[in-house]
Amino acid sequence: MSLLEGTLNLGRAMSAQRLTETVVVGVFDMGTDPATGDPIEVLTSQSYSGPGQIVYGTLTVSDHDAPAQPAGVQSPYLKLPSGTVVARGQEVRVTASRADSALVGLKFTIDGRGQSGQTTTVRYPLIEAS
């Protein structure tokens, strides 16, 4: 094992401890609750389920000018263990969080390829749906 490989492995192990949310990534479709008959979202294809971390790239909101109206925009992203592959357009559900209970129940969509390589986690850009 090279020095680089050893350092990356140590960094990845340390990063895994900071993945404070539990997430499910996949394709969700509308279905029916068998007990009540109410419409519900159903996971039809799962790409990943396990630890992750929802991170907002900045704590400040940046201004983007839209025609006749400025809008505030934040850029969230999802950290997953290194080597985890999910596809653009898949949905992310936060099912639990050790760090921030306000994240539980939030929905996001993967908005691009993950930033990876010689990194400790893979980071996927997100669009917040709720």
Q: Which structural domain range is residue 120 located in?
A: 3-128
- Distance between CA atoms of residues 118 and 4, nearest Å: 9
What contacts 88, CB < 8 A, 6 or more positions away?
110, 111, 112, 113
Per-residue pLDDT at 71: 58
The pLDDT value given to residue 60: 60
pLDDT tens-digit readout, 53-91: 999 876 565 555 556 555 566 789 999 998 899 999 999
Strand partners, 54: 78
Please tell me the distance from the alpha carbon of residue 53 to that of residue 20, in angstroms, as a whole number: 6
How many domains is the chain built from?
1
Is 29 a residue whose pLDDT tops 70? yes
Domain CATH for 66 = 2.40.10.270
pLDDT of 4 higher than 60: yes
Q: Which of 84, 87, 106 is nearest to 96 (CA)?
A: 106
SS (H, E, C) the chain: CCHHHHHHHHHHHHHHCCCCEEEEEEEEEEEECCCCCCEEEEEEEEEEEEEEEEEECCCCCEEEEECCEEEEECCEEEEEECCCCCCCCCEEEEEEECCCHHHCCCEEEECCCCECCCCCEEEEEEEECC
Q: Which pTM does this prediction carry?
A: 0.80
**pLDDT tens string 86-122:** 999 999 999 999 999 999 999 999 999 988 777 788 9
